[in-house]
Structure 1
């Protein structure tokens, strides 16, 4: 018999999450992921490792991708906003931090796998959508700060600008192009912040 099977099961408190059990499940999920990888990851293995019932896990997370998104959030946390007083530089540095994190940590591959699964799994797609909207709102804080300084027009939607940045870094991750120089990131954020249109001057007036 597996040594883990000898330990008493953790008690659930129904739909309301028991913090101790939730922490045990997330820790177990990280361990199973590290040992078995994304393809070998299973709810059954997590339940056994955490000494929690599968029904409890499925009550709190709707599936593998949903649980792994929480594992990813737990590992990654929130990056602090750069504050140079220049929105282009702030966005470029922020994007650079994200890309570097994905290159330097297994979390990058985890998130890439979740994005891939979301292409054919409805539950995963809903989880990714919710996470994307949450991250867009978070990143919009940098744009709103610049707007408050008067550096961004008041009619610009900060969340739309944030989504453009988010789209850039997520596409780089999904297509395995995480390397980006400061110059490249600066050029991309310059286009996003300033736009690509050349304003024509009407000389006949």
Structure 2
């Protein structure tokens, strides 16, 4: 039986508030374009055509291509879990392994493109900055647990230290060196947790 227009539930924009059906269609289209043609095939115009959505709607919800890419990246990554083994050192190593592993598998190209867009697009820079701040605060749960257990000092600037770990991962991503060994990650974590100064330096 042929469906009439009245039988079909249309996706409609509802102002600044996102319509769930439209949002799903746009993100699905964006993900499909990336999967099929990579970043070269990705544009707001192409996403609008694939999703049968208006460009003004996309730009209302995602002010830049980078903002849309970040949401696609979130969908690829799925819900983020931070290991809770009862040991801060082990949890930090797992965090670094997980992030580098995801980027090596399928998420690195998208995130690299966001960083590249941010170098010339103020809206992309704002989206990336907001994302970076949010993720450093979220991953800070690892150190917060350590504070609760008495492993980490209570006056630590946790988001700042997590930014240090994330910066290592970003640098590895941008230079194509995502294959850091567990021993290297453990060395990094140990250096941060114990400090760099020698015992003799502490005694002075």
Fold conserved between structures, TM > 0.5: yes
Question: What is the CA-CA distance between 1:200 and the residue it aligns to?
Answer: 2.8
Q: Residue 70 of structure 2 contacts residue 114 of structure 2 at CA under 8 Å; is this kept in 1?
A: yes
Question: What is the CA-CA distance between 1:9 and the residue it aligns to?
Answer: 6.7
Q: Secondary structure at the match of 2:203?
A: coil
2:48 pairs with 1:47: yes
Tell me the distance in 1 between the aligned counterparts of 2:21 and 2:66: 21
Give the gaps of 5 or more residues in structure 2. Answer: 1-7
Tell me the distance in 1 between the aligned counterparts of 2:170 and 2:91: 18
2:29 pairs with 1:28: yes
Question: What is the CA-CA distance between 1:175 and the residue it aligns to?
Answer: 1.0
Matches within 5 A, 1:82-93: 82-93=83-94
2:127 pairs with 1:149: no
Q: Residue 13 of structure 2 contacts residue 57 of structure 2 at CA under 8 Å; is this kept in 1?
A: yes
Residue 98 of structure 1 corresponds to 99
Residue 56 of structure 1 corresponds to 57
Q: Residue 11 of structure 2 contacts residue 19 of structure 2 at CA under 8 Å; is this kept in 1?
A: no
Residue 159 of structure 2 corresponds to 159
Question: What is the CA-CA distance between 1:8 and the residue it aligns to?
Answer: 9.3
Tell me the distance in 2 between the aligned counterparts of 1:159 and 1:194: 18
Residue 168 of structure 1 corresponds to 168
Tell me the distance in 2 between the aligned counterparts of 1:30 and 1:14: 24
Q: Residue 93 of structure 2 contacts residue 185 of structure 2 at CA under 8 Å; is this kept in 1?
A: yes
Question: What is the CA-CA distance between 1:84 and the residue it aligns to?
Answer: 2.4
Give the gaps of 5 or more residues in structure 1. Answer: 1-6
Task: Give the TM-score of the pair, scaled to structure 1.
Answer: 0.90
Task: Give the TM-score of the pair, scaled to structure 2.
Answer: 0.90
Question: What is the CA-CA distance between 1:158 and the residue it aligns to?
Answer: 1.4
Tell me the distance in 1 between the aligned counterparts of 2:10 and 2:141: 43
